Amino acid sequence: QVQLVESGGGSVQAGGSLRLSCAASGYSFSRHCVAWFRQGVGTERERVTHLNAYGRTIYADSVKGRFTISRDNTKNTLYLQMNSLKPEDTAMYYCAASDGSLCLSLEATSFAYFGQGTQVTVSS
Pairing of strands 77-82, 67-72: antiparallel
Report in angstroms the alpha-carbon separations of 36 from 58, 76, 124: 11, 15, 23
Q: Are 75 and 29 in contact (CB under 8 A)?
A: no
Q: What average pLDDT does this structure show over 107-115?
A: 95
Q: What average pLDDT does this structure show over 37-61?
A: 96
Closest among 104, 110, 51 to 79, alpha carbons compared: 51
In the predicted model, what is the mean pLDDT of the chain?
Answer: 96
Phi/psi at 89 (5° precision)? -80, -10
Q: What is the pLDDT of residues 64-85, one digit of tens each?
A: 999 999 999 999 999 999 999 9
Phi/psi at 50 (5° precision)? -130, 155
